[in-house]
Structure 1
Amino acid sequence: MISILLVGNGNVATHLYTAFSKADSIAITQISSRNLEKIPSADLTIIAVSDDAIAEVSSKINNKFVVHTSGGCGISELKNKNNKGVFYMLQTFSKGKDFNFNEVPFCLEATTKKDQQLLSEVAKAIGQKIYTINSEQRKALHVAAVFVNNFTNHLYKIGNDICIEHKVPFEVLLPLIKETASKIASLSPEKAQTGPAVRKDKKTIKNHLDLLDTNQQEIYQLLTKSIQNSVD
């Protein structure tokens, strides 16, 4: 039985606690990051807090092995005195939205081989996709994730705004969104690219720009230029 202390109560911590609670090989305890006066000992302490709080929270923990769950922070952000590591899950987490941890990539980093093995064992207790990823690689992955997730979701928001303004249901776009996402499982994103920017349909591009507000026009033109530069 591996004992885990989970520090935090946000989206990531909530989903981790639920998953670990169902794992037979894990004994999980959860505390708030605001309640660090009496910290229980554990084989592994997972800090699931905001990036800006990692240094302060970790500096107050003396347990033997402490990891954070951030994709954007290096292992050096941890300020505890003992062994350090990272337990990063490359997924978007929202409270109230269930998902299968078996589909979640676990990107793990530790300073010793023994700790790396422990992290792998912990990850395998709730998931299947295990990767050894160092801090520089994880930083690049996190930036890539912002493009394919956060920025893409903002583009969904803009698309929804356009639909609302012109009184058409956003749900009409859902099959297209699903097909676009599934297509890149078998095609590279470059080969999967379609649309007026690739075809350089100047008339269509102008018609689109005439429908958009100033902010939307700037985003449309920037992305169109980027697409065209990538295929020239």
Structure 2
Amino acid sequence: MIRLSIIGSGNVAQHLIKAFIKSEAVEIVQVFSRKKEVLFPIIDPSKIISAFADLKRADLYIIAVSDDAIAEVSQQLPFQNRLVVHTSGAAPIDTLDSKNRRGVFYPLQTFSKNKTVDFSTIPMCLEAENTIDFDLLEKTAKSISKAVFAIDSEQRKALHVAAVFVNNFTNHLYQIGKDICDEHRVPFKVLKPLIKETAEKINALEPIDAQTGPAKRNDSGTIEAHLALLSNENQKNIYKILTQSIQNNGKKL
């Protein structure tokens, strides 16, 4: 059985704890959290610690904290030559202190505290400095997910940027859509079937083949009418940029 400890208590840490608790191949030795009470509903309080000096030996230590805190946390670990990984999509492997063996255990998904996720479908992007450590990460990942990939730091950085476009930016566009609906007293729920169909379409078509709308058709009359309707300059600028991007898509430079 793989013995691991998790350092952190945020969204990613909490979802990992819940996933590993269900795994028969993994034992959570400890969870480090400055605020123990946050984790009381999730794991046995006797496993929660708040001092690095209390960390017991484990096969793997997963640092699940904000990107800016990874280096500092890894430097504070009171041991050497053990396998320590972070869960960031953007931070390179060498963000971790070199006194320990280093790796990355990145679940490519958006996490919210009150939203349950099916970890078996989440892509796990792994990186390690040697084959033995990678094999351990792979076994750990496969205990909770059916989608495991070897992804180096440069590839992961590109994936993270792509994820910002398809997730964070897309969600922001949902908010703009809701703002427009609210301004004109239209219920946003009218758009939800369209949002669902657009997302599901990607399972059958390439994005370029799924593209529709006035920009794709070069329907200048509709585009001008939309711009005239928008009262918010930021919304107008975003509309223009995205319209131009769609129209330029596929053109040779």
Structure 1 residue corresponding to 2:53, chosen from 37, 42, 52: 37
**CA distances 1:42-90 after superposition (whole Å, capped 9, x unpaired):** 1000000000000000111225100000000110100140210000010
Offset of 1:94 from its aligned partner?
0.4
Structure 2 residue corresponding to 1:54, chosen from 70, 85, 89: 70
Offset of 1:35 from its aligned partner?
3.1
User: Which residue in 2 is equivalent to 1:216?
Assistant: 235
Q: TM-score, normalised by structure 2?
A: 0.89
CA distance in 2 between partners of 1:171 and 1:92 (Å) = 22
Q: Which runs of 5+ in 1 are unaligned?
A: none
User: Which residue in 2 is equivalent to 1:73?
Assistant: 91
**CA distances 1:169-197 after superposition (whole Å, capped 9, x unpaired):** 11111111111111111111111110000
CA distance in 2 between partners of 1:198 and 1:222 (Å) = 13
CA distance in 2 between partners of 1:177 and 1:72 (Å) = 28
CA distance in 2 between partners of 1:197 and 1:147 (Å) = 19
Report the 3-state secondary structure (helix = DSSP H, G, I; strand = E; otherwise coil) of the residue aligned with 2:62.
strand
User: Which residue in 2 is equivalent to 1:230?
Assistant: 249
Report the 3-state secondary structure (helix = DSSP H, G, I; strand = E; otherwise coil) of the residue aligned with 1:6.
strand
Q: Which runs of 5+ in 2 are unaligned?
A: 35-49
Instruction: Tell me if 1:164 matches 2:165.
Output: no
The 8 Å contact of residues 60 and 80 in structure 1, kept in 2 or not, is answered as no
The 8 Å contact of residues 198 and 231 in structure 1, kept in 2 or not, is answered as no
The 8 Å contact of residues 5 and 42 in structure 1, kept in 2 or not, is answered as yes
The 8 Å contact of residues 107 and 131 in structure 1, kept in 2 or not, is answered as yes
CA distance in 2 between partners of 1:199 and 1:57 (Å) = 52
The 8 Å contact of residues 109 and 132 in structure 1, kept in 2 or not, is answered as yes
Offset of 1:37 from its aligned partner?
3.3
CA distance in 1 between partners of 2:63 and 2:16 (Å) = 11
Matches for 1:102-121 after TM superposition, within 5 Å:
102-121=120-139
Report the 3-state secondary structure (helix = DSSP H, G, I; strand = E; otherwise coil) of the residue aligned with 1:37.
helix
Letter of the 1:38 counterpart: D
CA distance in 2 between partners of 1:4 and 1:38 (Å) = 14
Structure 1 residue corresponding to 2:208, chosen from 186, 190, 197: 190
Identity value in percent: 57
Instruction: Tell me if 1:97 matches 2:97.
Output: no
Offset of 1:231 from its aligned partner?
3.9
**CA distances 1:8-30 after superposition (whole Å, capped 9, x unpaired):** 00000000001111111211121
The 8 Å contact of residues 71 and 138 in structure 1, kept in 2 or not, is answered as yes
User: Which residue in 2 is equivalent to 1:24?
Assistant: 24
Instruction: Tell me if 1:179 matches 2:197.
Output: yes
Structure 2 residue corresponding to 1:139, chosen from 157, 161, 170: 157
CA distance in 2 between partners of 1:89 and 1:24 (Å) = 19
CA distance in 2 between partners of 1:152 and 1:116 (Å) = 33
